[in-house]
Amino acid sequence: MFRRNAFGRFLVDDYLTEAGTPSRRRFLQGLAASGLLLTGGAVLDQRVWANPVFAAYPFGLGIASGDPSADGFVIWTKLAPLPLARNGGMAMKAVEVTYEIGAEANMRQIVQRGSALARPELGHAVHVEVSGLEPNRDYFYRFTCGGERTITGRARTFPVANAPIERAHFGVLGCQRYEDGYFTAFRHVADEHFDFIYHYGDYIYEYRMVRPNERPLPVARVMPGDPDEIYSLGDYRQRYAIYKSDPDLQLAHASAPWLVSFDDHEVDNNFAGLVSEQNVPPEIFALRRAAGFQAWYEHMPLRRASIPNGPSIHAYRRFLYGDLAQIDVLDTRQFRSDQPCGDGAHAACADALKPENTMLGEKQEAWLADGLRRSSARWNVLAQQVMVMRHDRDPDPKKTSYSMDKWDGAVAARQRLFDTLESARTANAVVLTGDIHQNWAGELKANFDDPKSRTLGVEFVATSITSGGDGADVTKAGQVVLQKNPHIGFFNNQRGYMRHTLSQGGWQADYRVLDRVTTAGAAVSTRASFVVEAGKPGMSPK
Ligand SMILES: [Fe+2]
């Protein structure tokens, strides 16, 4: 009944009927009779391409792991032998992909193996939710298909919730516009051997390709294939294929599990709920949002709970890292109100003060407040996208300017968040932010007009991987902005990522910057470090 191929795998085409229609019942009966059941949720209810032969190496988009729990994580890959070709060069059939979980990097001791179907409905992506592993330790994984095998990636389980844990070490990064530079930062990220990595969004940019001399900023790399702005699922898939073909990005994915979130450019610049940048009718924008979310899901190591439902996706979620940290990954795009005063930056926008303005939406806001009230973690981390603290960004000392896309455009929502931090007596709140392609560090003040008011937490804003080009250290404008915002203690305009090390006693935040991104091979250095003492609100330079 079962045949084995050269790799000892079962050939499921034996269970296709003569007409090519799968006999699912018969197949499952066969599996049950033999005591073998495929793991990874693979239910063979569609035509399967057994013994696939690929035109080229099928794992050109790499591998990834993510969303760790105390007993597992997601492992991910996507079959694309010709990444930029239609459908990634794949036939429109489901393909069985096998995976192995190893206790050591040499993969001599395999602790789990199984298989999953790469389905055409999901662009031949594979998401396996691995469980039954030990907490707080490294594991290794790889995939095989059609006689081809991936590199071995490193994943890591989280500690058991509330178990005593002394230390964590993780990275924060995002904003990786292809044309703006090389992904050298990711190579350095891989060398850090982080416990996990938080990606705050802008994994891709949806814009039309830019050629050299089409803008003042240098174009370091031109996107292949002459792509226009992206709208359809096929367009979004192709954009991910361009980005994910990058070997440095693939290394960073293979180095540690990621907690991913999206910001605006996974769909459309500065979208807010169903309001698009160009204000197309919401029911039409919903179609584009659905395409963007599906492509994001397909390319990220996410759990089944994040499979999109039309234009909706569940992306906010909570992680407990022992008793050391509660990490709330937030979604500040899908449920937010429209940017007031027509978006942009304004000195005074009365609509920014409207009580109904929201960044999280009612449901997520209540979920966050409930989680903070229940938390017994030493550190309470809000992993999100846009700057929470007040930020007068006008370099003219006589003027003020607040960005309506940030929490400055939803002042009442920020006040509700701060009220929650106070009423929940949230211990050691740390906000992790991205979005603006610059490094910033500051304190969340009960009253931003009074530097002596209570400090409710700190905010570390991580710069971009590439977006904005080479950049520079402290600019003159940046110095003025620092003086105008006494709660902000650091500004830098280079590219890179953040490295955070936390223990029961303290938190250290390192701003890792690259000397350039418009050419490859840049060196990395620590531009500044800040420490937060547990139980003592506020930060100080190290
Ligand atoms: Fe960005």
CA of 175 to the centre of ligand 1 (A): 4
Distance 392 CA to ligand 1 centre (A): 19
How remote is the CA of residue 170 from the centroid of ligand 1, in Å? 21
Q: Are 506 and 533 in contact (CB under 8 A)?
A: yes
Q: Residue 384 C-alpha to ligand 1 middle, in angstroms? A: 13
Quick check: 3 pLDDT over 80? no
Distance 264 CA to ligand 1 centre (A): 8
Which residue has 């060398």 as its token pair? 191
- Taking 70 as the threshold, does the pLDDT of residue 246 lie above it? yes
Cα of 445 from ligand 1 centre, angstroms:
26
Instruction: Classify domain 12-156 by CATH number.
Output: 2.60.40.380
> What is the amino acid identity at position 314?
H
pLDDT tens string 365-381: 999 999 999 999 999 99
Q: What confidence tens digit (pLDDT) does each residue in 389-429 have?
A: 999 999 998 999 999 999 999 999 999 999 999 999 999 99
Distances (CA, A) of 287 to 45, 56, 333, 334: 28, 33, 16, 14
Grade residue 464 by pLDDT with cuts at 50, 70 and 90. Answer: very high
Higher pLDDT, 3 or 103: 103
Question: pLDDT-based confidence at 22, cuts 50/70/90?
Answer: very low
Q: What pLDDT does 405 receive? A: 97
Sequential DSSP letters for 130-194 = E-SPPSS-EEEEEEEETTEEPPPEEEEPPPPTT----EEEEEEE----GGG---HHHHHHHHT--
pLDDT for the residue numbered 45: 53
* pLDDT score at 255: 98
Distances (CA, A) of 417 to 338, 362, 414: 18, 12, 5
Ranges 99-103, 159-163, 477-481: which has the least confidence: 477-481
Quote the ligand 1 centre to 461 CA distance (angstroms).
Answer: 12
**CA angle centred on 442, ends 456 and 321, rounded to 5°:** 65
In the predicted structure, residue 24 carries a pLDDT above the cut 60: no
pLDDT in tens, 145-185: 999 999 999 999 999 999 999 999 999 999 999 999 999 99
The predicted structure's pLDDT at residue 74: 98
Average pLDDT over the chain reads 92
* pLDDT, mean of residues 117-137: 98
- Taking only the tens place, the pLDDT of each residue in 441-455 is 999 999 999 999 999
- pLDDT tens for 301-348 read 999 999 999 999 999 999 999 999 999 999 999 999 999 999 999 999
Domain ranges of the chain: 12-156, 167-541
Domain at 167-541, CATH homologous superfamily: Alkaline phosphatase D (PhoD) (3.60.21.70)
